[in-house]
Structure 1
Amino acid sequence: MRKAIQKKHVKKAILLLGLAMITGCTKETQRLSPLSSPDFSLADEMSEETLIPINPTAAITELEPGLSVVQLVGDQGFAQLLEEGGAASDQAVAQFLTRQLTSGSIGYQFPASGFGCSTLTVNDSQGQTLFGRNFDWQSCRALIVLSMPESGYASISMVNLDFITQSMGALSALLSDDLLARAAYYAPLDGMNEAGLAVSVNMIEDQATIEQARGQTDLTTTTAIRFLLNQAQDVPTALELLETLGLHASMGMMIHFAIADAQGNSVAVEYIDNEMVVTSTPILTNFYVASGPKQGIGSSQSHTRYEILNQRLDQKETLNMADVRDALESVSKHNFNEFESTEWSWVFNLATLEAQVYHRENYQSGYVCSLKTLHERKQP
């Protein structure tokens, strides 16, 4: 692994994960030079929001149109996938799921469309690490998956169900809610586990792709996220696990991962010429952040979103969960007059394990869940 960490002088008041406060180290994180200077003020904040507790069951339950929740006990055959060496393509995952879930030829793949996302890792006034994430996409059906594997960490994650069903056409009608939920277990786009690890996938607009022919286990983009949520307790462990994999990009899409933990570590994991490159950064949007010839390549709007979030970090020493929500709102899609929307926004507290989620840019009313409660349900 080639580890790229660019050191840069930062303002005295800036937190940048608060690594010195939490871990006692003095490692600085990368801040790219601004490409634009958006005009916004922290004075324009939202009023107190309503948070509705999530009470998941084994059945898919609709919270509101386009957003549902389910609780899954067990690993849905994922351990067997790993024992068989994983899967090096969406088609291979589909074939495995076909054997696991049905006797017919039903599988899934990802549509060849791009998505834009933003992530932010900060500290609050108590030194707790917070992780925020926007998923920008067309209107879709989102499913919150609360996972309780027999061995491994409980987690909360989000799945775009349209990624599963749109490519199946008429065959999608053959999937019961139970089978759809089990298939969704293999397709998380972000999440947090009970050890306080958060992970998210963001797209990069680049013609290159990821096809690593190495490691004893091959995984695709989202099965790698499931792997990390199940097994990684912190960023160092997550990086060690990724090093053991041959990673393969779904539908050829170039992506990078944002990974953070309760100890205050926050990194971007990128794949350049099929080599894993790790960069410490509290912010990730949709362009390469690693030093080198590809740095900055990606969507132009993602640079604007990066700078908006950069300014948030510059203007406040610490952020609470409401501040992170407001930061995510400031880079949500309605600010850019686009047909896409920010389909969901997560705010995770990696210390208390509280997860707040906002659907389709309604930042006045959201949902809340505690992974500590989920952990208690796992205990005998």
Structure 2
Amino acid sequence: MQFKNLKFILSFATYALLTVSSPIDQDSFKDEKVIPIQEIKATEDMKVIIENFRVTEYRGDYGLDEMLEAGGFDNDFDLIKYTTKFIGYNDTSVFLKNDKGMACSAFQTPNIEGNGYFFGRNFDWIYCTPLIMVTYPDHGYSSISTVNTDFINWASENIPYEELYEKIVNHPQDINQLPDDILRISAIYTPMDGINEKGLSISVNMVPGNWTIHQRASGKVNLTTLSIVRVMLDKAATVDEALDIIKRTNLHASFDYLNHYLISDTNGKSVTVEYINGEPVVTETKIITNFYIAKELEGVGYGQDRYDAIKNMMTEYPKMNADNVRDALAAAEESTQWSIVYDQLNIEATYYLRGNFKQGYHIKLNVDNALDDETLVGSDPEDSVLNISDDETIIDLDNEDSAVEESVEEITDGNN
């Protein structure tokens, strides 16, 4: 295959892009009549559902097992280089730009019949371009996931870094959009949330802190904030299997931002994983927004009002139908770009875009060719593609305890 030379920017949704996006009046949706849920189907093409909302699928091998066997990557630069080379691009350089954070909500609740669960998720951000990414890997569980393509959708050829930086900030219209084949392969490794064929559901939510996390234990695979979500979706059927992956992984915070994960399965087990003092701390919970749940930093952060809104709905409706889940997401809506009702029993998702809870978009995962029930993450490390040791992890700080304490004081003072 002939390689193509390409430089591209992995952009973490800069606020500068807002100046070239048409604003959406989310209140304008409120008076619309309820519209029947629209069925959508993923194909290999980038199919537009409505403006700036697309769906696509990828069938086959996208290099995940090879990446894990090689030890993974401790940064997004090398990860994206690997993915683009995998499909035939000789990417010589990558440029990342980061900016503000996100505010999101997620929860799990039993369904009305008592035989399954729903997983609700709001992604709160500035105006962005979401993509539904459906994957059917050769060696892993199929899944539906959601990607903010504004993190990865700017490209240009043969332009020096300084010019690239100046253009992305001041003249984004002069930067070519990423080719669809690169966008598809990159999107696979950058899911913000997802559900796999076993019903395992995951959400990534930001939390505050002036420290970061770069674990460097020997013998463990290296993964970044979002690439670990891809591994869990492809390789884990339950919360326990997902936690086993986390245990065997050195996590590296993308853009040095801190996040926590809500991970829930079809058995009703639901936990958050938060990185405190360099270690993953697991706490059982049904809801997360943007404050810590673990007792070490409990309540530090923001989004308590959204948490309470969801909790109140769950108290009123201890068991929910899909409409109840939608209404709970609407109650917690805050500059929300997409909302999802993941049905963990039927392995399907209903999307609502930019606060318009009157129009849903439904997609169901085709599990006719699902993998056998044999686990992909064996209890014996020799049986797992994540064949790594249990060495101690370390945080990338000279004095991690001090950094955490100072950050807590700073955040607390800022919230008073």
In structure 2, distance between residues paired with 1:206 and 1:165: 28
Kindly tell me the number of residue pairs found equivalent between the two proteins: 323
- Aligned partner of 1:100 in structure 2 is 86
In structure 2, distance between residues paired with 1:139 and 1:55: 24
The structural deviation recorded for 1:378 is: 6.1
Residue identity (%) = 36
Whether the aligned pair in 2 keeps the contact of 1:131 and 1:347 (CA below 8 Å) is yes
The structural deviation recorded for 1:49 is: 5.0
Whether the aligned pair in 1 keeps the contact of 2:239 and 2:270 (CA below 8 Å) is yes
Matching residue's letter, 1:368:
H
Whether the aligned pair in 2 keeps the contact of 1:98 and 1:105 (CA below 8 Å) is no
SS of residue paired to 2:223: strand
* TM-score, length basis structure 2: 0.74
- Aligned partner of 1:360 in structure 2 is 354
The structural deviation recorded for 1:298 is: 0.9
- Aligned partner of 2:105 in structure 1 is 118
Whether the aligned pair in 2 keeps the contact of 1:141 and 1:162 (CA below 8 Å) is yes
Tell me: CA distance 1:116–1:137, structure 2 relative to 1, closer, same or farther (3 Å): same
Residue 379 (structure 2) pairs with residue 375 (structure 1): no
Task: Give the number of the structure with larger relative contact order, counting CA–CA contacts within 8 Å between residues 6 or more apart.
Answer: 1
1:221-270, Cα deviation, whole Å (9 max, x unpaired): 11000000000001011001110000011000010000001110111000
- Aligned partner of 2:317 in structure 1 is 316
SS of residue paired to 1:97: helix
For 1:9-48, what aligned pairs fall within 5 Å after superposition?
Answer: none
1:300-325, Cα deviation, whole Å (9 max, x unpaired): xx011111111112222211111010
SS of residue paired to 1:218: strand
Q: Unpaired segments of 5 or more residues in structure 1?
A: 1-45, 334-340
Tell me: CA distance 1:84–1:109, structure 2 relative to 1, closer, same or farther (3 Å): farther
In structure 1, distance between residues paired with 2:91 and 2:71: 23
Residue 206 (structure 2) pairs with residue 203 (structure 1): yes
The structural deviation recorded for 1:173 is: 2.4
- Aligned partner of 2:44 in structure 1 is 58
For 1:1-380, what aligned pairs fall within 5 Å after superposition?
Answer: 49-101=35-87, 102-105=89-92, 107=94, 109=96, 111-127=98-114, 128-166=116-154, 169=168, 173=176, 175-214=178-217, 215-292=219-296, 294-299=297-302, 302-333=303-334, 341-371=335-365, 374-376=366-368
Matching residue's letter, 1:51:
I
* TM-score, length basis structure 1: 0.81
Matching residue's letter, 1:349:
D
SS of residue paired to 1:94: helix
Whether the aligned pair in 1 keeps the contact of 2:107 and 2:287 (CA below 8 Å) is yes
Q: Unpaired segments of 5 or more residues in structure 2?
A: 1-31, 157-167, 372-416
The structural deviation recorded for 1:273 is: 1.0
In structure 1, distance between residues paired with 2:93 and 2:177: 8
Question: Superposition RMSD on alpha carbons, in Å?
Answer: 2.1
The structural deviation recorded for 1:166 is: 4.8
In structure 1, distance between residues paired with 2:213 and 2:70: 21
The structural deviation recorded for 1:111 is: 2.3
Whether the aligned pair in 1 keeps the contact of 2:212 and 2:257 (CA below 8 Å) is yes
